[in-house]
């Protein structure tokens, strides 16, 4: 819902505050578009800081993600979000119990943190509690929850920093 209320609706509503949105991604209970000027905005639940504005207060209207100005793509996971930046790196924010922010920590972050060691990425995808970047050479790197082997590195061990997907 993005109409500044918490009332359900069955019809689409125009949100004029996002008239320059380029793309959008919806997580479990939050949504985030990035704008033509490289900024990102998010709204919805914010228990784990998944709106990226430095708070944990829910928002029914878009709030600006703190310290982000060069987003070229964005993906929202269950309770975290990650944009790809123009320089081929990424930042993430929100829930981080499984290391899904990729910054070497398992502490939630309510503002963007740099994904450690990710470079030359051309695409990004956030899953439930893990994230992946596609690298310009055709390889992929993933980080976060690996209970089912979703990081693709042949283990079931979580990783709070990117690991190379084997066999690509």
Instruction: Tell me the average pLDDT across 137-158.
Output: 98
**Residue 163: Cβ within 10 Å count:** 23
DSSP secondary structure letters along 17-36? GGTTEEEEEE-SSEEEEEET
* Overall pTM > 0.85: yes
Provide the phi-psi class of 152: left if phi over 0, else alpha when psi is between -120 and 50, else beta: left
* Cross-strand pairs, 35: 21
pLDDT at 8 over 90: no
What are 26-63's pLDDT values in tens digits?
Answer: 999 999 999 999 999 999 999 999 999 999 999 999 99
> Quick check: 142 and 100 in contact, CB under 8 A?
no
Ordered by start, the domain boundaries in the chain are: 16-129
- The span from the CA of 92 to the CA of 17, in Å, is 23
Dihedral (CA of 21, 26, 31, 32) sign: negative
Q: What is the pLDDT of residue 3?
A: 46
Each residue of 64-80: pLDDT tens digit? 999 999 999 999 999 99
What class, spelled out in words, does domain 16-129 have in CATH?
A: mainly beta
For position 20, what pLDDT does the model report?
A: 87
């Amino acid at each position: 819902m993005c109409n500044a209320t918490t009332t359900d609706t069955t019809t689409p509503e125009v949100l004029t505050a996002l008239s320059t949105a380029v793309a959008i991604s919806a997580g479990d209970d939050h949504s985030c578009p990035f704008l033509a000027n490289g900024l990102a905005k998010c709204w919805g639940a914010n228990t784990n800081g998944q709106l990226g504005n430095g708070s944990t207060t829910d928002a029914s209207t878009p709030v600006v993600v703190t310290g982000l100005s060069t987003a070229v793509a964005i993906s929202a996971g269950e309770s975290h979000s990650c944009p790809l930046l123009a320089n081929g790196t990424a930042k993430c924010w929100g829930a981080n119990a499984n290391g899904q922010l990729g910054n070497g920590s398992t502490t939630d972050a309510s503002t963007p943190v740099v994904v450690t060691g990710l470079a030359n990425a051309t695409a990004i995808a956030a899953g439930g509690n893990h994230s992946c970047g596609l690298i310009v050479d055709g390889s992929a790197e993933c980080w976060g929850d690996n209970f089912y082997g979703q990081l693709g590195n042949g283990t079931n061990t979580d990783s709070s920093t990117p690991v190379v997907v084997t066999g690509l």
